[in-house]
Amino acid sequence: MPTRPIALAVAAALVTGAIASPAWASHSPVRPTHDKPTNVVLKAGRWTVAPKHKLSLTATLKSASHRLAGEELWLQTRDAASHKFGNPIDVGPTDANGQVTVPVSPGNHKGTKTQYRLVFQGDTGYKASHSSVITITVAAPTS
């Protein structure tokens, strides 16, 4: 009796029904998930800050008109002259209103410009997104 490659023998057995399909194979195929698009809206209370002072940024994560609670957002910063953002820093989950507040310190010297954006890395059922870029300038201290 001539020998056949094992793959050919298994394929023939499957076609003729000599080997039963596993139980999971009888269910309908898994449909690909269609993750919902998201957007991150980032706002600052003001665009300038005195040297060594902090400023709060507020981000809201939404999918369509629904705010997403309990999702992690990440802060990225860059010098205004740079083209590349640094590594993201975890700022924590969004609250029940889909918001998170992030304190930032743009710098110590007048004229320093720092850019910020918040990033949502995606989650089951939701696509990744990021906010627009906000530029904060360190201004002369007010007297």
Reported as a single tens digit per residue, the pLDDT across 17-34 is 544 444 434 444 555 567
Segment 69-79 shows an average pLDDT of 95
- What is the rounded distance in angstroms from the CA atom of residue 45 to the CA atom of residue 89? 21
Cα 53 to the center of its chain, rounded Å = 28
pLDDT digits (tens, 9 = 90+) for 117-128: 999 999 889 999
As a CATH number, domain 39-138 is 2.60.40.10
Segment 99-123 shows an average pLDDT of 93
Domain limits, the chain: 39-138
Q: Which residues contact 4 (CB under 8 A, 6 or more apart)?
A: none
First to last CA, the chain: 100
Phi, psi angle pair for 135, to nearest 5°: -105, 125
DSSP class of residue 110 equals: T
